[in-house]
Structure 1
Amino acid sequence: MKVAWLDEIQWTEDGLVPVIAQLQDSGRVVMFAWMNRESLVLTVAEGYAVYWSRSRNRLWRKGEESGHRQKVIDMQLDCDADVILLKIEQEGGIACHTGRESCFYRSLKDGAWQATEPVLKDPKAIYK
């Protein structure tokens, strides 16, 4: 697919671009993921984040199992055109598969990574 704005992106050798998801209201970074051309086009068309899952090797509509979708409010490309920032509204208030608001919930303290954010919902209750 030939689309001018897609061609401005500096894709990795495997056709991906890193994506940061940030809460529109607070500015908190809640997730990092990857997109390919198809997932980026779908994100723009649908208004909700669609990522490329490297582990599943397929498109991944954020919230397809959990219901915790990410409504895209704004999309920005960095100065090097190699990272995308999504400003989102996080449905359900949970972005992480661990049941937390953010995937960034561990802080380095006393030489070890320690969980500093609470689990808002047990993952067993989220994923069937």
Structure 2
Amino acid sequence: MIKPDFEKTGGLVPVIAQDYKTGDVLMLAYMNEEAWKKTLETGKVHYYSRSRNKIWLKGESSGHVQLVKEIFLDCDLDTVLIKVDQLGGAACHKGYRSCFYRRLDGNELKIVGEKIFDPEVVYGKKA
């Protein structure tokens, strides 16, 4: 089976999620081999949480699941690009469509992204 080179990267590879219709970059997260296999088996993107040390289905709490449309591996097999159908419209746990919702403007971060939901309503106070 073709897969990322998890051994070369210490067990985790970076994964870029991109909207398959617009080309917008939605987020960057990580996968281990188990998350890779679950993603291929289910057609829904699974990631590995470095802070919680566990596999998680994107959208398991919010319902904003990412459906796989296409998967690309880079030339070194150590980075993954997944083109997704982002259900619910938001990829970011802060409630924005993309995790890249702020642009550096001089010495400040300016919010330029679209906020889709209130994280306190979806997750409680922890977000």
* Global fold match (TM > 0.5): yes
- What is the aligned counterpart of 1:10 among 5, 8, 14? 5
1:54 positional shift = 0.3
Q: Which runs of 5+ in 2 are unaligned?
A: none
Deviations 1:12-60 (A, max 9, x none): 5430111000000000000100000000000000000000000110001
SS in structure 1 opposite 2:59? coil
Percent same amino acid among aligned pairs? 45
Cα RMSD after superposing both structures: 1.2
AA aligned opposite 1:52: Y
- What is the aligned counterpart of 1:24 among 2, 20, 41? 20
Is the 2:16–2:81 Cα contact (8 Å) retained in structure 1? Answer: yes
Correspondence list, 1:69-84, <5 A: 69-84=65-80
Deviations 1:54-111 (A, max 9, x none): 0110001000100000000111101121110000000000000011000001111021
TM-score normalised to the size of structure 1? 0.91
- What is the aligned counterpart of 2:97 among 96, 101, 107? 101
TM-score normalised to the size of structure 2? 0.91
Alpha-carbon distance between aligned partners in 2 of 1:14 and 1:57, rounded to the nearest angstrom: 14
AA aligned opposite 1:70: Q
1:61 equivalent in alignment to 2:67: no
1:10 positional shift = 2.6
Is the 2:65–2:86 Cα contact (8 Å) retained in structure 1? Answer: yes
SS in structure 2 opposite 1:124? helix
1:117 equivalent in alignment to 2:113: yes
Alpha-carbon distance between aligned partners in 1 of 2:31 and 2:46, rounded to the nearest angstrom: 7
Is the 2:9–2:78 Cα contact (8 Å) retained in structure 1? Answer: no
Q: Which runs of 5+ in 1 are unaligned?
A: none
